[in-house]
Amino acid sequence: MHFQCPRCARKHAFPAARMNAAGRVPCRCGATLILDPPGGAAGDRRPVSSPDLTNASIVSLGYVIRVERTARAFDGAYNGLRDGLGLNTPNASGGLPDPSRAGRPVLLWPALGAAWDPRLALPAAALTFAGLSLRWIVRWLVDAGPLTRLLEFAVSMVAFALCAATATVTAAAAVHDVVAESRPLRFGTALRTVLRWRRALLSAAVRETLLFALGAVSAVIAVASLIAIGDRGGAATLLSRASAPLQVLGMLTALGSVLAMMGALLVHAGVTPYATGRLGVQITVETRRLWGRRGLVPARSFAPGLVAGVLLAALLIVAVLVTVRAWDAVAASVTDGSAIPRISGRQVGIDLLLALAGGVWTSFLAIAGLLGGYALGSGAPTEPVRAPEIITGTQQSLEPLPEETPPPTSLANPDVLTGLVTLPPEKPDQPAESATPAATESSSGAASPTLPHSTARRL
């Protein structure tokens, strides 16, 4: 018997010569393998000295092979996720999370701890900072004016939505590799995997978040325009005051668009484990299944993650505002008169704080959406979908038409062992008037019965 290392696929003999009493086997790749024996009574186990188990793997006997790693700061959070999903038990079914356990809101606490992992938050923050930095290009290209701030807000919001979609899907893929497949956490490897095998999912996430971001930006610009014309006096002021209900409705629409964008991030993070090799149509079908009936609110299993995401966003915004106020107070007490560099440094510092907060927020949404996807499972088919059935609504039958059906043969069944075909015995010609009813039925087009195996000569 033998077993393979999950990290380097190197084969080891079982029982291993260097295995101690705790079932720990060192591998040449640097990993330490833990062999958990199968459960049950000792009388139910198969004998390990049976001849048919000479070349068998111990996984077939019920052993579970785990990789022991050096404990890190955030390994407790990932182990909490694995314990909550039922993946650390010896009888775990092939690394698949338990859907009944994945839907519990208590798992959001270790998810919040894992969201602060620098291996997740810092790459996501780098993407977010790159998106927020586009407003500096807008400020450089557009002269200072009354609409410059709105244009910067629109560009920053759209860029943040695109970066948040990319970071969320990538973080969900990375956490899935850690939790379900016991792989090391690497954001870059997960990003390459998403770009190679989950392009349809990434494009769907970008499209949905961009749509809701544009809706929020349009509502904010409309409300800001109605408020700005109130300073001109005359009819413009009356129009601005009369449109107060529309301004409130516009702000509610913007908030609803932001919530819908959060729902889109959660849904696409939940589809990440099941999106390898799927077509764009299959990803659309899968995401629509998770959106729920209304189309803007995700399924019930995503509700705890959505509420927790809103609360986390509020706390992060408050933390950013408090940090900015403290920074302004310290800068005002030690100012040296150079206002322009201080203002530029302040704005860059605000972008960095927002990027860090966005990295933690998108990491949490990725893990929360992943738990919701585990709770619902996969509902889209794995086989490719033919385009004519989707585009035109027609169904192509692969069976031949009745007139194209080949005529029945009079040969008997072929011999399975030799591959030869047995011919029916030769019979003398009979007159037409003495034809039997069976012959009449054969001449009318019905299939003739299969002849028994005879002793006629073989071809």
- The single-letter DSSP state of residue 70 is -
Residues in contact with 216: Cβ distance below 8 Å, sequence separation at least 6, in sequence order: 157, 253, 254, 255, 257, 258, 261
Q: Is the pLDDT of residue 3 over 70?
A: yes
Residue 117's CB is within 10 A of a number of other CB atoms, namely 24
- The single-letter DSSP state of residue 57 is B
* pLDDT the model gives residue 425: 57
- The single-letter DSSP state of residue 203 is H
Residues in contact with 104: Cβ distance below 8 Å, sequence separation at least 6, in sequence order: 84
* pLDDT the model gives residue 90: 55
* pLDDT the model gives residue 53: 60
Query: Which pair of tokens denotes residue 22?
Result: 């705790």
* pLDDT the model gives residue 429: 53
* pLDDT the model gives residue 283: 84
**Average model confidence (pLDDT) across the chain:** 75
Rounded CA-CA distance 185/278 in Å is 24
Contact 65, 33 (CB under 8 A): yes
Q: Is the pLDDT of residue 420 over 80?
A: no
255-293: per-residue pLDDT in tens? 999 998 999 999 999 899 888 877 888 888 888 888 865
* pLDDT the model gives residue 72: 65
β-sheet with 64-68: strand ranges across: 24-26, 32-36, 64-68
Q: Is the pLDDT of residue 155 over 70?
A: yes
Neighbour-count burial of 448, counting CB atoms closer than 10 A to its CB (0-12 exposed, 13-18 middle, 19+ buried): middle
Distances from the Cα of 134 to the Cαs of 202, 217, 237, 353, 399, in angstroms? Answer: 21, 16, 34, 16, 57
285-307: per-residue pLDDT in tens? 888 888 865 566 788 889 899 99
Residues in contact with 275: Cβ distance below 8 Å, sequence separation at least 6, in sequence order: 197, 198, 200, 201, 283, 286
Q: Please state the rounded mean pLDDT for residues 434-452.
A: 44
- The single-letter DSSP state of residue 3 is E
Domain spans, the chain: 1-68, 105-377
pLDDT band for 361, please (50, 70, 90 cuts). Answer: very high
Concatenated DSSP letters of 399-442: SPPGGGSPPPP---PBPTTT--BBPPPP-----GGG--HHHHHH
Query: Which pair of tokens denotes residue 229?
Result: 């014309």
* pLDDT the model gives residue 309: 93
* pLDDT the model gives residue 45: 46
Query: Which pair of tokens denotes residue 60?
Result: 């077939």
Q: Is the pLDDT of residue 319 over 90?
A: yes
Q: Is 458 helix (H, G, I), strand (E, B) or coil?
A: strand
* pLDDT the model gives residue 152: 84
Q: Is 159 helix (H, G, I), strand (E, B) or coil?
A: helix
Pairing of strands 11-13, 2-4: antiparallel
pTM across the whole model: 0.68
Identify which has the larger pLDDT, 386 or 252: 252
φ, ψ dihedrals at 183, nearest 5°: -100, 155
Q: Residue with structure tokens 């738990």?
A: 371
Q: Which of 34-48, 114-128, 139-153, 401-415 has the highest mean pLDDT?
A: 114-128
Q: Is 342 helix (H, G, I), strand (E, B) or coil?
A: helix
**Kind plus residue range of the DSSP H or E element containing 105:** none
* pLDDT the model gives residue 439: 43
Q: Please state the rounded mean pLDDT for residues 226-244.
A: 79
* pLDDT the model gives residue 398: 44
Percent of the chain past pLDDT 70, that is, above it, reads 69
Q: Please state the rounded mean pLDDT for residues 46-70.
A: 66
Q: What angle do CA 249, 253, 254 make, to 5 degrees?
A: 120
Q: Please state the rounded mean pLDDT for residues 32-53.
A: 58
Concatenated DSSP letters of 285-339: HHHHHHH-SSSSS--GGGHHHHHHHHHHHHHHHHHHHHHHHHHHHHHHHS--S-H
88-104: per-residue pLDDT in tens? 665 555 556 888 888 88
pLDDT band for 434, please (50, 70, 90 cuts). Answer: very low
182-223: per-residue pLDDT in tens? 777 889 889 998 888 888 899 999 998 999 999 998 888 888
Contact 215, 257 (CB under 8 A): yes
* pLDDT the model gives residue 13: 80
6-24: per-residue pLDDT in tens? 767 778 787 764 455 457 7
pLDDT band for 428, please (50, 70, 90 cuts). Answer: low
Per DSSP, the chain holds a count of helices (H) and strands (E) of: 15, 5
Calculate the CA 261 to chain-centre distance: 16
Q: Please state the rounded mean pLDDT for residues 60-81.
A: 75
Q: List, as own/partner pairs, every contact residues 46-49 make where C-beta atoms lie below 8 angstroms and the sequence separation is at least 24, other chains included.
A: 48/1
Q: Is the pLDDT of residue 437 over 50?
A: no
Residue type, 267: V
Q: Which of 183-192, 383-392, 422-431, 440-449 has the highest mean pLDDT?
A: 183-192
